[in-house]
Chains A and B, each alone.
Chain A
Amino acid sequence: MNRITHSPHAHASVSIGTVMGTVLLALTPATLFGFWLYGWPAVNLWAVSLIAAIVGEAFVVRLQDRAVRPVLMDGSGILTAWLLAISLPPFAPWWIAVLGSLFAVVIGKQVFGGLGQNVFNPAMAARVMLLISFPLEMTTWVAPAPLGSAQAPSWMESLRITFLSQPIDGMASASLLGHVKTEFTRGVGLDQALVGYYEPMDMLWGSRAGSLGETAAVLLLIGGLFLIVRRIITWHAPFAMLLGVVVPALLFNAIDGNHYAGPMYHLLSGGLMLGAFFIVTDPVTSPNTALGQFIFGFGCGVLTWIIRTWGGYPEGVAFAVMIMNTVAPIIDQYVKPRIYGRDRKGVALPVKKEA
């Protein structure tokens, strides 16, 4: 006997696969730009991350005696690995990608009970793990060497860079945030530190040293707006995160312009754009309500600015997101929508008579 099915007998044409697929599509421009900017090593690293995540997840799901296909087909593991890959230094060795992907998918997600159960954003958890375990590999940046240019490593060279960790000659560079932090420790102020390093237009387009896919602020912004238009995410969390960085940056920049950088500098550097549109909007680890998401995003922004400004690490997005992930359930506990016919406290509205 086929069981009677409960209403509704119609369904919107969405599935988890289409949601994840749309996010991947939104990430594609910035990723392709990263491939072009850093050449074949970036492609290698991205491919290794994805393969490691798929194989690792399949293995773990098999261990749990669950069907592998539906888990892989939902695309969440691929998205996690993709996000992790584009937040890695483009010339990082292969084992960084493998370790990171496995950590993200297995420890970050499946150990918590699989999709929807994890407390921390898996990609950010993996990035933090890598950053504190392998600080050297995770902060070795290279100057852009676009495909087709003279400095670009050939395909064979790229294999040596990715798989044999061959030292890079003359390409080492520093990310803007890292550079400024180093200069501060030498007692150099912003007015000198930024010279030759900070070109807002380059920052906007992404032609600078940085993570594989985090540099192209404009392309990430376009991807994020695409997701908002497609109603995959809402504007609350991204806007609040950017706001959370801009407000303190404006304030402190006005107080001491030589020591605290302005909002533009913060907006365009590091992983802020990626974080704002692709990380804090992760449904699993963020609050449920619009107001909750706003608070969550704002907290991520402020913490990012604090870590960048006063913390030990040059970049703080990953740490900020993980800290706010722990707060998300508390936000959900206190920020609930008002129920129809009740006030904010859940008490039934009074019966008014207008006789």
Chain B
Amino acid sequence: MKLFDLRGGVHPEGKKDLSADRPIRALPLPKRLYISLQQHIGAPASPVVSVGERVLKGQLIAAAQGAVSAPIHAPTSGIIAALGDHVAPHPSGLQVPAITLESDGEDKWIATQAVDDPFALTPEDIAARVGAAGIVGLGGATFPAALKLNLSRNSGVQTLIMNGGECEPYLTCDDHIMRERAGEIIEGIRLIAYAVSAKEVLVGIEDNKPEAIAAMQAAAKESAVKIVVMPSMYPMGSEKQIIQVLTGKEIPAGGRPADIGVLVHNVATAFAVQQAIRYGKPLISRIATVSGGAIKQPCNLEVLVGTPVEELIAYTGGYTQPAARLVLGGPMMGQQFTHTDVPVVKGTSGVLALTSKEIGQAEPSPCIRCSTCVRACPVGLLPLEMASRIRASDLASAVAFGLKDCIACGSCSYVCPANIPLVHYFNYAKGDLAAQERAKLKQEATKKLADARNERMARIERERAEAMAKRKAAKEARERAAAAAKAATEVV
């Protein structure tokens, strides 16, 4: 199959060998789980259990709220210990509402509904079951999968692309799920393709995962699913880029893949879909890679959602040396975290403990305009120009240079010889612009309120004045009448 070129891109050191030959192991049942209510893009789920309630594994504990949301299920059986805030897997280290579950050690499943012939279900039914199972994009974007299915079916998607790129260094979780569960993944892929009636199904896998490619090819033999080997390059696994490489098409700016007849899902999502449809199991666990130079035994673990990260690190034998930085996700786009009791969420693909040598970050120096960042940018932006505008607080100019098209992949920062934190500048600018936008909306709303109040005050004043005038007129009329009467009596 003919592949198209990726614009720009970088070749970060893979580091996948640290955990590449470690089969997936299940993490022992943790004592306490902190299940965040915000594990997806959209509105947080709202709890449907109360403190002290006993729940079974797979039982719904928080329901989806609004159009864009996903439900959350109990990862194991136990007792709800608390409904409150817990530290979020987010660089801010802020608290988010979470459900604390005390495991009872029995890990007892709720009754599930298995389906013998999933292809007898209607596409709508598949989407509904995927939605009810709380499945979100496991590649990291955590967009509710059912919404994507419905949107794609309604807009007539032709091509289904399954993303097995895993271009982030260190991470091997998708590699291993493809090696070890290829049969289930292929069935999941066929279910998704059936649900959106896609005509073409492509699975893109980077050529640095030969075992996964072989396993997937063997599993896909009898089906219409086509395994495509892609060159290893970052950010191959980004949605926009994998579409470009496999189809040569580009998503129009501000659009969605469905606009060009494409749907992209991660391979791990396909596995979750298969489990949900065939066995009725909701999404309560995921595969995550624990790796990094400071980790004693890097490995791939199947972990329950809500497991504190420190349990993962402890299970792998702890640190060989103090970690210079702890990261959730891959090193290119992952987020630093400081509290090791942050829970694993549905989108957690990896936990990295990096040494300062691996990070290789130095003090930033002045930009020499070498335009290495321009060559590295997969979108075709001018990172150096945008950063210099943002540094001078000229955000409008940065937007004119295409700030909003930035996918924050980090390629520019990675290659910058001056160590300028380019993506940091861009994300600061995006955040600041969003805050300004919010402030503007609020101001418009409060202005309307103020105007309404002023009008009301004026009306009240007017009415009062009118009432006064009326009273005065009445009084005068009375006086006149009295005077007239008096005059009349005097005359008489």
Q: Could you say which of A9, A13, A339, A355 has the most chain B C-beta atoms within 10 Å of its C-beta?
A: A9
Q: Is A76 a contact partner of B261 (Cβ separation < 8 A)? A: no
Check A5/B336 contact, CB under 8 A, given A114-B366, A116-B366, A337-B381.
Answer: yes
Check B20 for interface membership: any CB of A closer than 8 A: no
Check A341/B253 contact, CB under 8 A, given A116-B369, A284-B368.
Answer: yes
Check A341/B252 contact, CB under 8 A, given A13-B360, A76-B368.
Answer: yes
Which of B332, B371, B381 meets A7, CB within 8 Å? B332
Distance from B413 Cβ to chain A, minimum over Cβ atoms (Å): 5
Interface residues of B in 395-441 (CB under 8 A from A): 402, 405, 408, 410, 413-415, 417-419, 421, 423-424, 427
Which of B250, B331, B424 meets A10, CB within 8 Å? B331
Check A11 for interface membership: any CB of B closer than 8 A: yes
Identify which of A150-158, A268-276, A314-322, A345-353 touches chain B.
Answer: A345-353
Check A6 for interface membership: any CB of B closer than 8 A: yes
* A290 neighbours in B (Cβ, 8 Å): 375
Identify which of B5-13, B203-211, B299-307 touches chain A.
Answer: B5-13
Q: Is A353 a contact partner of B156 (Cβ separation < 8 A)? A: yes
CA separation between A65 and B333, bound complex, in Å? 37
Check B481 for interface membership: any CB of A closer than 8 A: no
Q: Is B371 a contact partner of A288 (Cβ separation < 8 A)? A: yes
Which of B332, B363, B384, B402 meets A339, CB within 8 Å? B402
CA separation between A354 and B155, bound complex, in Å? 10
Check B134 for interface membership: any CB of A closer than 8 A: no
Q: Is B359 a contact partner of A11 (Cβ separation < 8 A)? A: yes
Check A167 for interface membership: any CB of B closer than 8 A: no
CA separation between A256 and B140, bound complex, in Å? 68
Check B378 for interface membership: any CB of A closer than 8 A: yes
* B418 neighbours in A (Cβ, 8 Å): 15-16
* B489 neighbours in A (Cβ, 8 Å): none
Q: Is A348 a contact partner of B254 (Cβ separation < 8 A)? A: yes
Number of residue pairs spanning A and B whose beta carbons lie under 8 angstroms apart: 168
Distance from B101 Cβ to chain A, minimum over Cβ atoms (Å): 28
Q: Chain B: interface secondary structure?
A: loop
Interface size on A, residues (CB 8 A): 45
B 306-342 binary contact with A (CB < 8 Å = 1; else 0): 0000000000000000000101000111111010000
B 168-194 binary contact with A (CB < 8 Å = 1; else 0): 010000000000000000000000000
Q: Is A348 a contact partner of B252 (Cβ separation < 8 A)? A: yes
Check B158 for interface membership: any CB of A closer than 8 A: yes
* A16 neighbours in B (Cβ, 8 Å): 365, 368, 417-418
Check A186 for interface membership: any CB of B closer than 8 A: no
Q: Is B415 a contact partner of A337 (Cβ separation < 8 A)? A: no
Q: Which residue of B is nearest A288, CB measured? A: B371
Q: Is A8 a contact partner of B331 (Cβ separation < 8 A)? A: yes
* A166 neighbours in B (Cβ, 8 Å): none
Check A340/B368 contact, CB under 8 A, given A6-B423, A9-B325.
Answer: no
Check B446 for interface membership: any CB of A closer than 8 A: no
CA separation between A11 and B358, bound complex, in Å? 8
Q: Is A70 a contact partner of B365 (Cβ separation < 8 A)? A: yes
Check A326 for interface membership: any CB of B closer than 8 A: no
CA separation between A9 and B91, bound complex, in Å? 13
Check A259 for interface membership: any CB of B closer than 8 A: no
Q: Is B334 a contact partner of A115 (Cβ separation < 8 A)? A: no
CA separation between A289 and B382, bound complex, in Å? 9
Q: Is B333 a contact partner of A7 (Cβ separation < 8 A)? A: yes
Q: Which residue of A is nearest B382, CB measured? A: A288
Check A195 for interface membership: any CB of B closer than 8 A: no
Interface residues of A in 221-236 (CB under 8 A from B): 234
Q: Is A10 a contact partner of B414 (Cβ separation < 8 A)? A: yes
Q: Could you say which of B10, B366, B419 has the most chain A C-beta atoms within 10 Å of its C-beta?
A: B366
Q: Is B335 a contact partner of A7 (Cβ separation < 8 A)? A: yes
Distance from A274 Cβ to chain B, minimum over Cβ atoms (Å): 20
CA separation between A16 and B369, bound complex, in Å? 11
CA separation between A4 and B342, bound complex, in Å? 15
Q: Can you list 20 residue pairs at the A/B interface with Cβ under 8 Å?
A: A6-B423, A8-B410, A9-B325, A9-B336, A10-B12, A10-B358, A11-B413, A11-B419, A16-B417, A70-B365, A74-B365, A283-B371, A284-B368, A290-B375, A337-B381, A339-B405, A341-B250, A349-B252, A352-B259, A352-B260
Name the 9 nearest CB pairs between A and B, nearest first: A8-B410, A6-B424, A348-B253, A283-B370, A337-B380, A341-B253, A349-B252, A11-B360, A10-B331
Supplied contacts A5-B325, A284-B368, 4 more A-B pairs, CB within 8 Å: A12-B414, A116-B366, A341-B251, A351-B259
List the interface of chain A (C-beta within 8 A of B): 4-16, 18-19, 70, 74, 76, 114-117, 234, 283-284, 288-290, 332, 336-342, 346, 348-355
